[in-house]
């Protein structure tokens, strides 16, 4: 207890550490770390720069129409007078030519370079590539020296961002996607044969505005801030058979249909085994350096094996008010999320804010939600305060939306809660957690896994969340132990660590196994570790975990992305 009080005292008087995930804009596959390279000249200044138009060269493109995930090459004549911060950017076609800094993404032009590749995402608007060069021997402002023809979306209402989620009942499934319009009622055609989609269900549509969010850049309209997100469509499929493969497509006859995808519904019988994938802190490739390798490994796993569902425990896209990053992230996870339910929990980079609490979709009291004096809750969402998350993703309705909820999958009961909200004893969330755990039928679901974003335990030294961890231990660890929780998953720190089954930092036979799984994409931690009795394995490598469970046996495996070999694993038995 003395250690807890010391931790609280030290952390309550410490300064809130600034955001360690600084990046410029990179939704089209360009990675920009502001600590490693400059922005285009003066584009990091609040007013940006006005440029002049010279138009000396033509940018040629390999296609004049584009769709999501299409690779387009831009070519141009080499120039011997390029400056080190000359760049090619991608813009809305109606962006003034003088607004050099109003790009969505950019890449610096290297000496003698004449070709550049771009991974496209469907932003539902005409786009254009532009080449800006600094004049007067690279000492002046930018001039536009070349531009491409305007690129049109192949289909402005291409169904994109397909993803699945569990609903309230085992025989239900949320199917979601996005288009540019809500003119027609969204549709899903599905069936047991990919060539005979004989069943049909209609859905609903929603969107959001910049003014729907809480503060900062999320309230500002522009290519590096809020852009219209399109319309998010959701359909609930019902009367699905358990453990059965369904084929489906989404769209409308008027605007076109997606490709046909398949998913297997979850089992209703606790005697059937399940296979889960779990990670946190992935974000967008290549902005987050490990995201691509995680996406590639997990996509292969989903396509080649029978994965029941996936759990992403907070820090989802790291968009932080940059709308195009949500488009890029949802496009990147579609090969996974269109095939298995993609179940998410809230993290600091989706939710944390200081003002605008009346717009907070979680209903938390106060202008900035849960902000105790001992916490290090900042403004890490860029003002989004959870709005883009709750419009895109879905969950069972037995809690408080995406913020806390639970569901059964085979022999496992999974409870997702929010460490960004009040979890102290007698809080609404605490009372809901206790009621949910009390209600679990351990005959039907012998395993309980809980998950939230911030870590309850870590042996990493000097990490800034010690006070939050101490409070999680104080309030929730006794509750989890009382109701015999088996595994506690969390993220936030960009590393992997596993404990022994333990309680109050002592290894015991009937304890809880705590697993840190924040190693899916964001820049890895490099802090040293302190020696502890309970820490069984830790490392700071990119990877993901799988969880296999039947009624009597649970096996969690941690894989490194670098070679897809097993780095750590443990077994539990009933």
- Angle (nearest 5°) at CA 92 between 254 and 110: 130
pLDDT 10s digits, 480-491:
999 999 999 999
How many residues are listed for the chain in this entry?
Answer: 574
Per residue in 173-206, pLDDT (tens digit) is 999 999 999 999 999 999 999 999 999 999 999 9
How far is 304 from 307, CA to CA, in rounded Å? 9
* Residue 16 within a domain: no
Sheet strands (E) in 168-213: 173-179, 187-191, 199-202, 204-206
Dihedrals phi, psi of 296, to nearest 5 degrees: -65, -45
Instruction: Give the per-residue pLDDT at 421.
Output: 98
CATH of the domain at 529: 3.60.21.10
When divided into structural domains, the chain yields a total of: 1
Give the pLDDT mean for 407-419. Answer: 98
pLDDT at 42: 64
Does some domain include residue 469? yes
For 39, 243, 331, 394, 481, the CA distances from 161, given in Å and listed in that order, are 29, 25, 5, 13, 39
Domain that holds residue 279: 160-573
Name residues whose C-beta falls within 8 Å of residue 302's C-beta, 6 or more positions apart in sequence: 277, 310, 335, 336, 339, 340
Residue 550 has pLDDT above 90, yes or no: yes
How confident is the model over 197-255, as pLDDT tens digits? 999 999 999 999 999 999 999 999 999 999 999 999 999 999 999 999 999 999 999 99
- State how far the Cα of 336 lies from the Cα of 319, in Å rounded to an integer: 19
Residue 135 lies in a domain: no
Helix, strand, coil fractions of the chain, as percent rounded to 5: 15, 30, 50
With contact defined as beta carbons under 8 Å apart, do 268 and 170 qualify?
yes
pLDDT band at 41 (very low <50, low <70, confident <90, very high): low
The predicted pLDDT at position 55 comes to: 62
What is the distance between the alpha carbons of residues 558 and 518, in angstroms, rounded to a whole number? 12
Residue of 159, 171, 208 lying closest to 396 (CA atoms): 171
For the segment 349-378, what is each residue's pLDDT rounded down to a tens digit?
Answer: 999 999 999 999 999 999 999 999 999 999
**Helices 2-12 + 466-475 axis angle, to 10:** 140
Taking only Cα atoms into account, the Rg of the chain, rounded to an integer number of angstroms, comes to 24
- CA 475 to CA 137: how far, in whole Å? 63
Please, where are the H alpha helices in 122-278? 135-138
Q: Is residue 449 part of a domain?
A: yes
- This prediction has a pTM of 0.93
User: Is position 278 within any domain?
Assistant: yes
Q: What angle do CA 187, 188, 189 make, to 5 degrees?
A: 120
All residues at 6 or more sequence positions from 47 whose CB lies less than 8 Å from its CB, including other chains: none
Judge whether residue 23 has pLDDT over 90.
Answer: no
Does 21 map to a domain? no
Query: Per residue in 99-158, pLDDT tens?
Result: 998 999 999 998 889 999 999 999 999 999 999 988 777 877 888 999 999 999 999 999
* Residues paired with 190 in a beta bridge: 199, 248
Whether 45 is covered by a domain: the verdict is no
Residue % of the chain over a pLDDT of 70: 92
Continuous segment of H or E residues that includes residue 468? helix 466-475
Task: State the chain's mean pLDDT as an integer.
Answer: 91
Question: Where do runs of H (alpha helix) occur along 139-284?
Answer: none
The whole-angstrom separation of Cα 106 and Cα 122 is 17
Q: Examine residue 178 and state whether it is found in any structural domain, yes or no.
A: yes
Average pLDDT over residues 256-264: 97
């Amino acid at each position: 207890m003395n250690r807890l009080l010391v931790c609280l005292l030290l952390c309550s008087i410490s300064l809130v550490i600034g955001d360690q995930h600084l990046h410029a804009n990179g939704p089209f596959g360009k990675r920009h770390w502001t600590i490693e390279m400059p922005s285009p000249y003066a584009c990091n200044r609040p007013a940006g720069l006005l440029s002049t138009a010279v138009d000396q060269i033509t940018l040629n493109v390999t296609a004049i129409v584009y769709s999501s995930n299409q690779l387009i090459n831009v070519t141009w004549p080499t120039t011997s007078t390029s400056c080190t911060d000359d760049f090619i950017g991608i813009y809305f076609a109606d962006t003034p030519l003088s607004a050099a800094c109003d790009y969505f993404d950019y890449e610096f032009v290297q000496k003698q370079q004449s070709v550049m590749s771009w991974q496209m995402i469907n932003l539902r608007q005409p786009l254009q590539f532009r080449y800006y060069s600094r004049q007067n021997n690279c000492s002046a402002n930018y001039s536009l020296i070349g531009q491409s023809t305007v690129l049109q979306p192949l289909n402005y209402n291409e169904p994109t961002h397909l993803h699945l989620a569990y609903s309230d009942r085992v025989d239900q499934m949320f199917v979601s996607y996005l288009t540019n319009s809500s003119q027609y009622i969204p549709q899903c055609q599905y069936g047991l044969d990919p060539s005979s989609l004989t069943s049909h269900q209609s859905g609903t549509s929603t969107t959001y505005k910049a003014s729907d969010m809480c503060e900062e850049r999320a309230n500002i309209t522009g290519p590096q801030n809020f852009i219209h997100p399109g319309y998010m469509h959701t359909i609930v499929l019902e009367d699905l058979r358990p453990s059965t493969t369904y084929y489906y497509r989404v769209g409308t006859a008027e605007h076109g249909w997606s490709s046909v995808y398949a998913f297997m519904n979850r089992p209703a019988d606790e005697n059937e085994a399940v296979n889960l994938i779990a990670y946190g802190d992935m974000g967008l490739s290549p902005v987050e350096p490990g995201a691509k390798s995680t996406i590639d490994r997990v996509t292969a796993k989903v396509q080649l094996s029978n994965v029941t569902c996936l759990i992403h425990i907070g820090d989802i896209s790291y968009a932080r008010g940059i709308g195009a990053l949500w488009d890029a992230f949802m496009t990147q996870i579609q090969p996974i999320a269109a095939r298995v339910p993609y179940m998410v929990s809230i993290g600091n980079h989706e939710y944390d804010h200081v003002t605008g609490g009346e717009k907070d979709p979680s209903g938390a009291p106060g202008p900035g939600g849960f902000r105790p004096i001992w916490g290090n809750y900042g403004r890490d969402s860029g003002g989004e305060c959870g709005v883009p998350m709750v419009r895109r993703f879905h969950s069972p309705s037995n809690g408080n939306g995406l913020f806390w909820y639970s569901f059964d999958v085979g022999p496992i009961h999974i409870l997702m809660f929010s460490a960004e909200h009040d979890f102290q004893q007698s809080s609404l969330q605490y009372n809901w957690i206790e009621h949910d755990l009390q209600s679990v039928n351990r005959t039907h679901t012998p395993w309980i896994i809980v998950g939230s974003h911030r870590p309850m335990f870590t042996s990493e030294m000097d990490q800034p969340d010690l006070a939050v961890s101490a409070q999680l231990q104080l309030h929730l660890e006794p509750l989890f132990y009382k109701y015999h929780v088996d595994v506690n998953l969390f993220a936030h720190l960009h590393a992997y660590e596993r404990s022994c089954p333990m309680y109050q930092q002592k290894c015991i036979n009937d304890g809880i196994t705590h697993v840190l799984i924040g190693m899916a994409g964001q820049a890895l931690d490099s802090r040293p570790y302190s020696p502890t009795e309970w820490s069984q394995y830790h490392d700071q490598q990119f990877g993901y975990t799988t969880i296999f469970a039947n009624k009597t046996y649970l096996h969690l495996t941690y894989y490194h992305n670098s070679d897809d070999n097993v780095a750590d694993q443990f077994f539990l038995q009933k």
